[in-house]
A and B are shown apart, each in its own frame.
Chain A
């Protein structure tokens, strides 16, 4: 145990965590020449396509240091706020963290928020100044920023480049010397914390755990403490680039477990594994529940696929503990789920993963935050509104409260004006402005969560030319003037298109919604009126003109195959549309409200 080190790599997005992990794996000889590739641990297609880490990824290395062999369990974590739950769970399995800071960009919003997560868990922090090879690197100044942030000595900051390999040996040395070995007693009953899991269609549920006390051996009868269910440990092992089966995983180590569980609901991330016959007295404190920020409905395109969607979501949830969902139904879409996400990127990733990993084509409805509504009957108790259709009728509505956040934005002084205008436009109120250095400013705002959930990031990036980072924490509910804008297609209200918006924006949003839907819904064999309404008052309307001509003039010899293929493609596209009444609505129309400004 004294030769085990468990540590994670944390940082702001894109500061080079995954690339640094590559270098550590290289240096310790943990990957073969053939296996090598950039950001090796980002092994999901989605991660590679987007160039960002979505999932934390644990991997074990062995390293000789001063004549001893050390087992180093590394966890690479994502930097984007929407995946912060991945970071917090990884932290719980570690004693130390490499805090990576980009030598050109310095300390950014998620550097700070992830650092706090690590400190709350008493992790030993090893600051790494990465990308020192960059011509734009500013090592002295950034080192000062880090020293200010951590209150450490400048010598403790390790200059490194995940690109050239500078500093890698020093980092490994620091991990061994500065990160404490795990504590815990090998004689106590088994307590292993489940920090992640994944569904494998052939082998069932695989759980990833960290042993805190005791040991786990292959073949033992184990028990999940939260569910109370027992299984045999059919296979256990350590996480190398591929899984390495082992007869035993000892105290302090990280490993995987396969029991043949096929039902995703039987495993909970945060649960404690113990032995069935000599159980631990208590479970380890698990993880704080996730607090979803955005809610949206997810529905199968084909109503018959509801149960399949449920089982897919349960399986996905194993690997995405921040996803929450409850069944709901919509007049327009039938049965589906109201899902909670940590942000819009998270929502997009969930939708993508359902399609790619589970072959489920889904419709995602207009997202909203969670509101509190109070009725005139009972002005003290709130009704939670996660779905526009849950908003009580205006005649019985006393007031609505919406969630506010404290937004922290770090930017260059040149962009302070732009950032402020943006935040004010988003109903924000500035509460603080601090110059971190003469160049860098930290601004804090109180803002409605709903305003940052939608197109805030992109606009922030634009107005600051990319030089702004952003983090937020909820600060409670405030009274707000909210209305529901309903959309009627062919005079039928389509509940899945309703949106909760601030009264002042309702008119504009209603108008833009109608215009956008007109653009997104293909012409059909009849006229389709589109109306936006607040209650019974129509605030905007458009008409999709009926298709007048839908036939090609010529259809001889060679035209036939070409034409058939074209119409087949059209039919496939149509299968991804949802019929509401007699109107065919394409998937993306349900998200129209998000693209109003495109």
Chain B
């Protein structure tokens, strides 16, 4: 697999056309597939084939049970400079309910160990878990904050089809997911993290100033990215591509010097829609000026008109020429974005 990844990186060297690489991100599950020296090897393949900025943000995502002290030490010596740890909860019951492979104890110990070697750490936390009351949620937040971490991602639990959780809920062994609970806990989170200096810079992301995820922010700001590996997505400002999902097919394609990718070209409307959809999730909002400049006056006028209803309902507001979600609107931005979309009916 490492060879295939390296091959893909090399084959795609011309795609960035002289743009500098600002961030590198090793996605979830990496430690169970790659040794640290393989990670290092891939970074060096990137360095040989692309131009990197000084001090690129290089993140590695890991689960607590993957992060042994040895692994962390080895990483600390590598160019990796940011860790994202899938904590999810500090309560054993929650972890079992979500069928996680780590324990509450591993959650704590992995953070403790990581903080000794890394400054730039992010953890993620899940709320809206059936049976989790607000006090429990609050103590999860406090615990995460107590480690002095600069970044927290937090997601509402969703029940995916064909999972054990789905089955348990269907069999009524576990209560249904409760929207009101999720909404309440989201607002608790925003308030509590706000008090201690975290900025809710995107729906699910909170960071101390200077510690926002550069990598993820690029997605929301429409920047280009190269996704390497099975089912990874890429975007060059106009085309979005996705790699084959299947590992074997992915490797076979590369062995035959073929890129395992399929592209779709985004129309102007697609790009406008994506900008609205991602923009409303962030503190940078949707800039009317940018809409008019990049997509044209019609789009600007349309956005303005469609937004009126939501401004009246106090779900959106204008800050100068920037359209933003209000506190109340934050948890409803998908439906709102959809309504601000331009679509051709035919």
Contact = CB atoms under 8 A, between A and B. Distances in A.
A549 B225 CA distance: 30
Interface in A154-178: none
B270 A564 contact: yes
A567 B345 contact: no
A570 interface: yes
B334 interface: yes
Interface in A444-496: none
Contact of A564 (B232, B274, B281): B274
Nearest to B216: A556
B277 A553 contact: no
A330 interface: no
Interface residues of chain A: helix, strand, loop or mixed (majority): loop
Contacts, number: 102
Given A525-B315, A557-B232, A558-B227, A549 B335 contact: no
Contacts of A525: 313, 315, 332, 335
B273 interface: yes
A555 B315 contact: no
Contacts of B337: 567
Interface stretch (B87-95, B177-185, B294-302): B177-185
Contacts of B273: 564, 567-568
Contacts of A547: 179, 332, 335
A561 interface: yes
The winner among A551, A570, A575 for most chain B CB atoms within 10 A is A551
B345 A555 contact: no
Contacts of B180: 548
A377 interface: no
A574 B338 contact: yes
Given A560-B278, A563-B277, A571-B343, A551 B332 contact: yes
Interface in A191-226: none
Contact of B233 (A548, A549, A558, A582): A558
A571 B339 contact: yes
A552 interface: yes
B183 A549 contact: yes
Nearest to B127: A553
A576 to B, nearest CB: 9
A50 interface: no
A547 B180 CA distance: 9
B341 interface: yes
Interface string A535-578: 00000000000011111111111101101100110111011000
B330 interface: yes
A548 B331 contact: yes
Contacts of B309: 582
A84 to B, nearest CB: 36
A550 B332 contact: yes
B317 interface: no
Interface residues of A, number: 26
Contacts of A563: 277, 334
Interface string A570-592: 11101100000010000000000
Interface string B95-113: 0000000000000000000
Interface residues of chain B: helix, strand, loop or mixed (majority): helix
Interface size class of B (residues with CB under 8 A): 35 or more
Contacts of A553: 155-156, 158, 203-204
A550 B332 CA distance: 4
A548 B240 CA distance: 32
A557 B332 contact: no
Contacts of B264: 561
A550 B335 contact: yes
A582 B240 CA distance: 37
Interface string B223-245: 00101000111010000101000
B333 interface: yes
A582 B308 CA distance: 13
Contacts of B179: 547-549
Contact of B277 (A548, A557, A567): A567
B240 A551 contact: no
Contacts of B156: 549, 553
A315 B242 CA distance: 48
A550 B155 contact: no
B345 A575 contact: yes
Nearest to A361: B345
Nearest to B203: A551
B147 interface: no
A575 B334 contact: no
B220 interface: yes
Contact of A557 (B186, B227, B331, B335): B227
B71 interface: no
A494 B315 CA distance: 26
Nearest to A552: B334
Interface in B291-346: 309, 313, 315, 330-339, 341, 343, 345
Interface of A: 525-526, 547-558, 560-561, 563-564, 567-568, 570-572, 574-575, 582
29 contacts: A525-B315, A547-B179, A547-B335, A548-B180, A548-B183, A549-B179, A549-B182, A549-B331, A549-B332, A550-B333, A551-B203, A551-B332, A551-B333, A552-B158, A553-B155, A553-B156, A556-B219, A558-B233, A560-B233, A560-B277, A560-B278, A563-B277, A564-B274, A567-B277, A567-B338, A567-B341, A568-B341, A568-B343, A572-B345
Given A525-B332, A548-B179, A572-B343, 20 more contacts: A547-B332, A550-B332, A551-B332, A552-B158, A553-B204, A554-B155, A555-B203, A555-B204, A557-B232, A558-B231, A558-B233, A560-B274, A560-B278, A564-B270, A567-B273, A567-B334, A568-B341, A570-B338, A571-B343, A574-B338
- Which 4 residue pairs are nearest across A and B when measured between Cβ atoms? A558-B233, A553-B155, A567-B338, A548-B179
Interface of B: 155-156, 158, 179-180, 182-183, 186, 203-204, 216, 219-220, 225, 227, 231-233, 235, 240, 242, 264, 270, 273-274, 277-278, 281, 309, 313, 315, 330-339, 341, 343, 345
